[in-house]
Amino acid sequence: MAADRTILLATRNPGKLREIRQVLSRLHVRVAGLEEFADLPEPDETGRTFARNAQDKARYYARATGQWCLADDSGLAVDALRGAPGVHSARYAAEDCPPNAGREVLDRANNAKLLRELAGVGDEDRAARFVCHLALAEGDRILLEADGVLEGRIGHAPAGENGFGYDPLFYVPALGCTSAQLSPEEKNRISHRGQAVRTFARKLPAILP
């Protein structure tokens, strides 16, 4: 059966697109990616919070495409770094990379910088959390919002081959492994994004046709 509603996901990150599609797969919607709008420029992210950036991105792409747009802003907050990298998580080490560096290059540089910033910091002071905020817009109107948080700590070296971003360094004490050592299904069950998308999925049917 064809989907009744297309929702554009405002990201070019294939990992995010895959995770959100997996959680929303049971709903009667089609989740499109920005590859369908390849020539559309990205907006500047000037918000000081994850929520504001998600709202701004959702409105921008909803206006530009005429689609319902779901935007995610998420990142890592490390206590010892006073909440950094925070809203700058995706490009934390951009100055260490060539212009237009791909996602994998940026991810490696971001992880390397994080380890440098935490050199000499003991386990007890490496507490951190992944934060995700989702906003769904139609034009300038925000229709739904949801968020999620996953608590953990930063490891001393990367471990695991799954996931993306800071997953190889994000240790989950309750599971005894990093996010990158979890299967996609296991990660979606506990992740900040998985929590936010499940909350979003519970709210979404109320506004669908």
Yes or no: say if 142 and 58 are a contact pair by the CB < 8 Å rule: yes
Has 72 been annotated as catalytic?
A: no
Active-site residue (options: 56, 73, 107, 147):
73
The tokens of 152 are what?
């953990």
The tokens of 18 are what?
């895959």
Q: How far apart are CA 57 and CA 27, in angstroms?
A: 23
- Give bridge partners of residue 76 from the DSSP assignment: 130
Give the DSSP per-residue string, 17-57.
Answer: HHHHHHHHTTSSEEEE-GGGGTTPPPPP---SSHHHHHHHH
Q: How far apart are CA 14 and CA 20, in angstroms?
A: 10
Active site residues: 73
